[in-house]
Structures are given as structure tokens and as C-alpha cells.
Structure 1
């Protein structure tokens, strides 16, 4: 923490690990929440799974963008605490404006999701698949506001040293979502059998329960309660709102560029074939599950680097950043090895790998997972490097890097290899690897030359005073 003496690299590595572990576990558990949906929907058939994957591809872009904007509160809170440990007013103002944005952005996202079917049709998807995906998306969109609010509250508790709350609440969400899917998808526990729409309703119930749990946890914790983040919720702080938008919009565009690469890949797969799309969905679930650990390390890096950024300690910024990058690379080596050594075992968590009806899909999924193993190292590196740069509030140039890497390099390669060459689906996944590799190299270079680019802070930079 910022009030402690200067830490060695080894000590900083330990602090990063202590913060990253519960955040990474919470990310994995969040993926388990989503995996519950996939497991139940997959049992409705390949057609339902394909429709859900298209809807989730668009929904994921929205949630990434909204969480990117409101997630700018993380480096702000960290910097405020780094400058002055007892920064109650400053933290409260930042969280309040992030919650405002969560509601406003979520409402706009719901409106966009109502046009899900026309969007699917415009991308060339088959009419019946577009209709089913559009209906599912319309119901799922109701989860947007509570999901973004929950992410803001998660950021708050994590930056203030209570990341274990995020882990516990996300674990609870798995049980709630599994129960909801069991009840509403197949009509158990006295609920109606709603099929695909039932899974969306379960998601809404789950996200609302997470918000309620965060509110209760914050109110019960003495340290968090003193910030009174829900106090005077109607009072605007326009300068803080502009600050969140200034940092958050580039983060959102960065995440959309990356998420858009994967969502765009899903649409490419839809053009190649339904079996390839279903296999892509399963393989991507696996890759995304492993990705949650370096993503959690990147979140921890934003907070750790942000503390030192607020304190104006350039040396500590460097140690915190490199510690996170080493940690992330080490895990990426482990995850890549697991995908190579036990691909069928990993895929069996999602589908019956021995069923004859899944044979074609499994063949494709194994090919895609082999490529995913190859790009684990660069995927983990770019995720942590982006988090480190956010800690020094550097988001605009990384946004440009993301657009160039993921779209000019990644998606262009995926489209060319997937639609024009015999590689088909494998070509799409090779394109994903290209985009991630370019991003990793460019982000690492920017971090390495951080002093040359003027990313290090002046000592003890402070916010100007304003009303509470």
C-alpha cells in the first residue's frame, strides 16, 4: 500500500500476488457463472447454442465498453489513496460518478440490444438464427445495468483492500445462476420452461443478487462503510465525471477493439458453418477461462501501479509493473501447457466429448484449442501490460495500439485466412493470435520506454479542491 515503506521487487511481487489472487479467482468464478449458461443452453441443442453465442458476442462488446468506461475509477481510486491514505471524499466522488455512468450507459445499451435481430441479419446470419438470437439478447440486455453497477462496486472493494469480497460474491452468483437456469430453462422448481429466454432471466436474477450482496458487504465492513459511497448520490461532480470519461473512454475502445476481434471471429464462424461456430464457442470459453488469471493480474497491476503513481514514486511504479508482467507470463506458460497436454479433459467440462453427435464439433474444437495454447503467452502479456499502463493513467496510445493490432493485423488476417483459404476456422484463430501478438509487443515497448514517453508522474500530484 502507499503508506508503507518502499518495497523491493520481491516484496512487490508478493503484494501483487496477494491482490491478484482473489481478483483472478473472482474472474474465474465469473467465467463459471457464464459457463453455467453455456452448459444449460448447450443441452437445448446446437442451434440454440449457436444463437446464444451470437447474442453473447454482441452483449459482451457492450459490457466490455461500459465496464471499460466505469472501470477508470480503479486507477483514480488507487492514485487518490496513494496520495493520501485517508482520501474519503475523493474516493466517494469517484465511485459516485462511476455509478451514475453505470446506470446511464446500461440504459443506452438496453436500447441498442432491442435491435439485436436486425443487427444479426445485417451481418449475414441465417434468418431463423437471427430471430432466436435477437429475442434472447432483448431479455439478456436487462442485466446490463446491475452488471455494470456490480463491476463498479467490485472495483471499489478491491482497490480498498477487500478483493476477497469480490471472490465470495461471485462464488455465490454461481449457485444463484445454476439454480435459475435449472428452474427457468427446463421448467423445474415450479417455474415455467422458457428455454433460451429462461437462461437470460436467470442472468438478470444473478446480477441483481450480486449488486445486493455488494451493498450488504460494504455496509457491514467498517473500513468500506466509512466512505459512504451511496451518500448524496444525487449530487453531481462534473470535473470527476469528465476525468472518468477522459481515462475510461480510451479503455472502453481498447476493450471493444479486443472484444470485437473475438466477437467478429464468432460472426466469421457463423459464415463458415454452424458446427464451426459451436466449436468456436466452446474453445473460446476455455481460452477465456484461462485468460481470467492474467486479466486479474492486470487489474491488480492497475491498482498497485496506481498507488505508486499517486505517491509520485517512479521507482516503485517500475517494480510494480515488472512484477505483474513476470507473474502474468509465468501463469501463461502453465495454461499453455495444460491446453497442449489435456485438451479433451478440458473440453469435457463443457460437452460430452464421446457423444457421436458432437464428433464433428469436437474435431474443430480441438484444432482451435491447439492455436489457443500457442497464443496464451502473448494474450497474457498484453492483458497485464495494458493493466500496468492504466495504472499510470495512460490509456489513449494503448487504445490506438489496440485498434491497429486487433483489427488491421488480427481481424484482417482472420477474415482472409478464414474465408478465402482452406484453413477456414483454423485460419480465423490464427488471425486472433496475430492480433494479440502485435498488441503484446507494442504495449511492452511502451511500458519499457515509459520515462521517454513522459508517463512517470511528478511527485505528489493532487486533485483540486471541490465540494463534497
Structure 2
């Protein structure tokens, strides 16, 4: 990364950072995307089982991943402030933190998976697939969280193309493993949806090993000597990572878990509705990778500029990111409405599932605009290291307003399961408005402080 002076230079740098992140996110999400799509081609009850398992796993994995995202602004801030000697220690403590969090998640999951699934109104086959899928995924939890940390370090240096290259190397492996293990091809056992979990776990190990090799052998990573010495665990550094990362992780968990909670509430409507809901949610989540990637790019650039005390530049990047996000998401929303029937065909050949998925996708199109505003703003706020208020706003908009409203609409109006999707749209819109107000407040405050500092100097 380098300092920019004009809007054209900023757009170019933002695009250079954003594009590889988007490709990486699409490739990473494609693992889940193809898990759902390929399992849907296998059987509806396997699709429902993977949907339930994914609904429990995704909020946890993204929430913990959010905690480890704190490495990105920490490292970017050091780079912007020209304090490069602090980078290696922070990254390794992030790896230690990732391992500790992974072990904690595995332990908690071992005790809670049966009670949670047994409490749900699921058919036996669906419950069996969901549990087995989660157990399979757990094999790859430790490497996945380590990779999240290493990728945060790679991206913080502005080398987002490296993350893209690593992920693209492993995506074909995941697809091949899915094909072999879901459908039992070339002599492999036929696991159905469970095979998707096994394939993902193996892929997590592979992508982590590749990332370690890159960091240890390629410039500019080698100059930081990340793996040359292994320092002792520093609980002081853990505290810094967690104090900054936990609000980020909880905000992401709050947002993703609301979608999972909706899936669990929909279990009362039967296997076909669960399968259709999950298929539509899977595709809209795929589109969400666009504003999410802009968000991650803004975290890198805004933290870099604030580290260098260039607050006006940070403000410009925030505005550009939101503008680009809204423009792209408007286009994807229109395309989603036009091609909803063809998209539904990607997930199932069963007429009932196709029809319901198309209807859910129509509601999903309206997610795009709110996502395009709130996701980039969250990224900018993380760059400013302002994360606690975002967490509180997420709780209010999704859990205090969104989910209760969804329950009312689903149970006391003709909307039924679609009522939850209407409430999600409302929750996202409220989140976008409140986050906009917070970003404007933070930016105004920093510009005032910078002005006072310049006067005193």
C-alpha cells in the first residue's frame, strides 16, 4: 500500500485491494455454496440436514473469524505508523489465540450438539445428517481459525492477491472431494451431505499449510520472520486482540446467527420449506460477498490511513466504498429478481423446492441495498477501531426488533415463513441507518481532534 493524493488514485488503490478480496471471499464461500448445491442434487433430506448443520456452524465460524479479523487493523495500523517490528509478535499471538478458541469451540460443541438437535422438530434422517456434518467439520476447525489469522496478516500488508491465489488453489480440491464423497464416485464411500463436511475439513487443512509455506518463503512476508521464533504466549497481547476482536466477532455472530435462528424456527414448516429457505439464503449470502469484500478492503485502508494520522483520506475511502457497494448491489438485486427461477434450478430438481426457492429469492433481492450500506460502514468503523457501539446496534436491530417481528409476521399473518424474511429486511435497514449515523459521528470527531492537534502544534 502507498499514500494516495487524488480521488482517482484512491479509487485505483481501493479497487486493487478489493478485487482480490472479492475473488477470495467468493472462492471461500463457494465451498459452502457447493456443499448446499451439490447436496441438494443428492436428496432433499440431506439438503435439509446440511442446512441445519450449516445454520449452527456458520455463526460460530464467522463469529470466531471476526475476532481474528482484529489482526488486520492491528497490523495495518503498525504498518501505517512505521512500527513494523511489532507485526510478527502480534501475528503469532493471533495464531495462539486461534488455536485456543478452536479448542474451546470443539469442547463446547461436543457437549451441546445432541441437546440442541434433539430440541428441534426434525425428522430422524435430517437430524442424523446435521450431526454427522458438524462432527466432520470439526476436524478442520483448528486449521480454519489459524488460516483466518494468517490471511488477516497477509491482507493487512495489502497483498490481497496472495490470499486470492491461495484460495483459488484449494477450491478445485474441495469441489473434487465433494463430488467423490457426496456421490461415492471412483470407489469412495457415498456419504451424501456428510461428505460435504468431510471435504471442507480436508480443504481447511490444505489451505492453512499453503498459507504457512507462502508466509515462510515469499516476499514481502519473509522480512517479518513470522515463524523464525516462537515466543511464549502473551496474555497481555491476547487481551488486546480479544478486546478489539470480540466486539467484531460478536457483531458478526449477531448478524449471521439471526439467519440461523430463522432457519431453526422454520423447522416447524417441514423439510421442503427448510431446504428452499436454505437454498435461497445460500445464494443471497453468495451475493453478500460483494459488500463484505468492500468492508474488508475498507478496514485495511482506513486503519492504514488512521495509523498515519491522515483522517481526511480515511474519510474519502469510506465514502468511496459505500458508493461502490450500493451501485454494485443495486445491479445484483435487479438480476436476482429477473433470474430467480433459473437460480432455483441450481439447487434442486424437485418442483416444490424450486417454486418455494424462487419466492424466497424475491425477498432476498431487497437484502442487497441494506447490505451494501451497512457492510462497508462496519469495515470503515473497524478501521477506526470503533467496534463496541456496532455490536450494540446489531443486537437492537436484529434480535430486539428483527426476530420478534419475524415471529409475529410468521405466526399471526398470511406471510407465514416469508414473514421471517420480511423481518430480516427490516432489521438490515435499521442496522444500515444506525451504522451510518455512527460513522458520521466518528469521522466528525476525529477531524475535530485532528484540527485541535494541528492548532496546538
**Normalised TM-score (structure 1):** 0.92
1:213 to 200, 210, 213: 210
Q: How does 1:298-377 map to 2 (within 5 A)?
A: 298-352=295-349, 358-377=350-369
Distance 1:15 1:452 in 2: 24
CA displacement, residues 24-82 of structure 1 (integer Å, 9 cap, x when unaligned):
11111112122221233223311111011111111111101210111111111111111
Change (3 A) 1:410 1:453: farther
Distance in 1 between residues matched to 2:219 and 2:165, nearest whole Å: 18
The one of 37, 58, 69 aligned to 2:35: 37
Q: After TM superposition, list the pairs within 5 Å mapping 1:76-95 onto structure 2.
A: 76-84=74-82, 87-95=83-91
Which position in structure 2 is the counterpart of 1:111?
A: 107
Superposed, 1:50-65 pairs within 5 Å as: 50-65=48-63
Counterpart contact for 1:392–1:455, Cα < 8 Å: no
Q: Which moved more, 1:414-423 or 1:101-110?
A: 414-423
Q: Is the 8 A contact 1:13 1:327 kept in 2?
A: no
Q: Which sits farther off after the overlay, 428-437 or 414-423? A: 414-423
Tell me if structure 2 keeps the 8 A contact 1:55–1:116. no
Residues 92, 227 of structure 1: 8 Å contact kept: yes
Give the alignment of 1:198-209 within 5 angstroms: 198-209=195-206
Select 1:67's aligned residue among 65, 68, 84: 65
Alignment correspondent of 1:466: none
1: distance between equivalents of 2:173 and 2:448? 44
| Structure 2 counterparts to residues 136-155 of structure 1, below 5 A | 136-155=133-152
Aligned length: 451
After the TM superposition, which residues 234-313 of structure 1 pair with which residues of structure 2 at under 5 Å, given as runs?
234-313=231-310
2-structure distance, mates of 1:364, 1:413: 22
What is the distance in 2 between the residues matched to 1:278 and 1:246?
38
Matching of residue 433 in structure 1 with residue 439 in structure 2:
no
Richer in helix (by share): 2
* CA distance in 1: counterparts of 2:407 and 2:124, whole angstroms: 22
* Structure 1 residue 457, shift from structure 2 partner: 7.2
- Displacement of 1:184 after TM fit? 2.0
Give secondary structure in 1 for the equivalent of 2:279.
Answer: helix
Return the alpha-carbon distance in structure 2 between the equivalents of residues 181 and 277 of structure 1. 22
Uncovered stretches (5+) of structure 1, i.e. residues with no partner: 353-357, 462-468
CA drift of 1:294 comes to 0.8
Q: How does 1:138-217 map to 2 (within 5 A)?
A: 138-217=135-214
Unaligned runs of 5+ in 2: none
Tell me whether 234-243 or 281-290 shows the greater mean CA deviation: 234-243
SS at match of 2:347: coil
Distance in 2 of aligned mates of 1:381 and 1:7: 25
CA root-mean-square deviation: 1.9
Which of the residues 434, 438, 447 maps onto 1:446? Answer: 438
When normalised by structure 2's length, the TM-score is 0.94
User: Which range is displaced more, 33-42 or 253-262?
Assistant: 33-42
Q: Which aligned segments of 4 or more residues in structure 1 are displaced greater than 6 angstroms?
A: 455-459
1:416: Cα distance to partner? 1.5
Give, in whole Å, the separation in 1 of the partners of 2:92 and 2:34: 32
Q: Is the 8 A contact 1:169 1:210 kept in 2?
A: yes
Distance change (3 Å), C-alpha of 1:175 and 1:314: same
